[in-house]
Amino acid sequence: MEMLSQDYQAIAVDLRGYGATEMLPMDATQGCLQWAQDIMELLDKLKVQKCHLVGHSMGGSAIYNLLLVQPERFKSAVLVAPASPFGFGGTKDIIGTPCYSDFAGTGAGTVNQEFARLMKAGDKSEDNPQASPRIVMNSFYWKPPFRPAREEQLLDSLLSQRVGEEAYPGDFESSENWPFVIPGKFGPVNANAPKYVLAGAKKLMASKISLPFLWIRGSDDQIVSDNSLFEMGTLGKLGLVPGYPGEEIYPPQPMIAQTRYFLEQLSEGGSSFNEVVMANTGHTPFVEKPEEFSHLLHHHLQSAK
């Protein structure tokens, strides 16, 4: 935001369950529709008639839902390392076919519960190499050995996330299928499960929205990729989760290929997209390469005029 031209006004939203928001439950059964509704209420309150959208990671899911609710309110969309439109985990091809009908291996049950506990406790140490929020952030949110100048502020932001069964990561249920967990009904991780977002993605692909998209991602993203280290198919294939049924049944989710397919389908309906891969960059391009990111963003905003 600090690098944004004065020609633009930037509004940074604390989504439900994040930052300074109240401890409100997030109904995951609506996908990320609650986020979209909250944002629309804010835009109405601020009397913003039309604007550009920029969403990072799960923020991409908010954008997908905003375009379902009121696409005419938006001038363009920038997807930064976005979650797949078909949800996180549990799908095995570019069109989002579920590995199991109950969507086993997705949702809050796949989250490292110790990481969530330490986040809730406000832990800033590096004592737990597998779950300390600081270590997770510096190992996966950007490409090591990069560490941002504002590490403490970014860690404070991470630790501000609401934690609980109705917040992050949410609740979960058991399954007979590997890895024996399925999404519950609350929280952002469940809201991004394919069980609750596939129908919306298909509806959006079938729409005729006409919008320019900029898709920016890092070449070395370990979170959103076709071999994500946070996704059960990849972890099972690597032998890190016992009982893996094999790649034929549960392959790594092709997240990048799915997003590209999704944007290609929107292009057939009248939209356009530009995919940019930033070299030697992880999951957060605007933190790792701010000047390059700013240049891409401004060029997109000017083109969208």
Residue 77, pLDDT score? 98
* Crossing angle of helices 58-69 and 194-206, rounded to 10°: 50
- Beta carbons within 8 Å of 77's beta carbon, 6+ residues apart: 52, 53, 54, 55, 63, 67, 211, 212, 213, 214
Cα distance between residue 25 and residue 184, in whole Å: 13
Please enumerate in sequence order all residues whose Cβ is within 8 A of that of 38, keeping only pairs 6 or more positions apart, or say none: 13, 15, 16
CATH, domain range 28-304:
3.40.50
Structure tokens at 92: 């095995």
Q: Are 213 and 272 in contact (CB under 8 A)?
A: yes
pLDDT in tens, the chain (305 residues): 989 999 999 999 999 999 888 888 899 999 999 999 999 999 999 999 999 999 999 999 999 999 999 999 999 999 999 999 999 999 999 999 999 999 999 999 999 999 999 999 999 999 999 999 999 999 999 999 999 999 999 999 999 999 988 999 999 999 999 999 999 999 999 999 999 999 999 999 999 899 999 999 999 999 999 999 999 999 999 999 999 999 999 999 999 999 999 999 999 999 999 999 999 999 999 999 999 999 999 999 999 97
Q: What letter would DSSP give residue 241? A: S
CA 276 to chain centre: 17
Q: What residue spans of the chain are helical by DSSP H?
A: 33-45, 58-69, 113-120, 133-136, 151-159, 188-191, 194-206, 232-237, 255-268, 285-288, 290-304
Residue 22, pLDDT score: 85
- Label the pairing between strands 212-218 and 74-80: parallel
d(CA 122, CA 14): 18
